[in-house]
Amino acid sequence: MNNFEIKTVEFVRGIVGTNDILEDPTPQIAFVGRSNVGKSSLINSLVGRNDLARSSSKPGKTTEINFFLVNDAYYFVDLPGYGFAKISQKQREKLRKLIIWYLGYGEVKPKKVVLIIDANVGLKPFDLEMIDLLKKEGHDFLIVANKVDKIKSSKLEKQKREILSQVGQDFELVFYSSKTGKGKNDVLKGIFG
């Protein structure tokens, strides 16, 4: 969808397990990735609202699967982050189970999954595990390398090559900054085609 314009957006609910919202046929766009890569910030920047999905410099901010209704037509689904060492083992395991439940047990099938990584950091082992899961479950996904404002332009091409060498040259990869909004159209094109 070109010129995708967000007209309305509202928080609907956060879930931690089976919920009747999953039976709603409204297509879901899911945002997944390691903790602190900027999933919630990315949703906020796409919809032009700073405070919609709560973000924090402290990892582990999002602890539920949050559903936002966009233009009465799509759910943007903000997932908790995985793989951050500085939250407790128990909390980490709980979040991991929740993410795998959402993506892995076929109760829902998001129309598109947006896998977010930190542009500066690249793909970590947890991301590669996530990619395996997404492939195994047959999810349609793209990778958004966020925080591109923090990467030196001299490093950008190298990082792009490095990531593509790990996932395949034809893979859909978009560099983005939730902070500046640079790359927003590419992200929207990646999501809505």
Ligand X SMILES: Nc1nc2c(ncn2[C@@H]2O[C@H](COP(=O)(O)OP(=O)(O)OP(=O)(O)O)[C@@H](O)[C@H]2O)c(=O)[nH]1
> For binding to ligand X (CB under 6 A), which residues are involved?
33, 35-41, 55-57, 59-62, 80-81, 146-147, 149-150, 177-179
Which residue, 24 or 121, has its beta carbon nearer to ligand X?
Answer: 121
Residues 99, 2: Cα–Cα separation, whole Å: 30
Cα dihedral: 84, 152, 46, 142 (round 10): -70
Question: Which tokens hold the place of 182?
Answer: 């640079």
Mask for 25-64, x = binds Mg ion (CB under 5 A): --------------xx--------------------xx--
How far separated are the first and last CA of the chain, in Å rounded?
Answer: 5
Question: Which tokens hold the place of 69?
Answer: 């209704």
Phi/psi for 182 (5° steps) reads -65, 125
28 binds, options ligand X, Mg ion, none, Cβ within 5 to 8 A by partner type? none
Q: Which residue is nearest to ligand X (CB)?
A: 81
Which residue, 56 or 165, has its beta carbon nearer to ligand X?
Answer: 56
Which residue, 24 or 124, has its beta carbon nearer to ligand X?
Answer: 124
Residues 74, 114: Cα–Cα separation, whole Å: 14
66 binds, options ligand X, Mg ion, none, Cβ within 5 to 8 A by partner type? none
Helix, strand or coil for residue 42? helix
91 binds, options Mg ion, ligand X, none, Cβ within 5 to 8 A by partner type? none
Q: Which residue is nearest to Mg ion (CB)?
A: 62
Which residue, 38 or 190, has its beta carbon nearer to Mg ion?
Answer: 38
With residue 159 as reference, give the H or E element that holds it: helix 153-167
**With contacts defined by CB under 5 A, how many residues of the chain interact with Mg ion?**
4
149 binds, options Mg ion, ligand X, none, Cβ within 5 to 8 A by partner type? ligand X
Write down the residue that tokens 């999933």 correspond to: 39
Residues 154, 31: Cα–Cα separation, whole Å: 28
103 binds, options ligand X, Mg ion, none, Cβ within 5 to 8 A by partner type? none
Q: Contact positions toward Mg ion, by CB under 5 A?
A: 39-40, 61-62
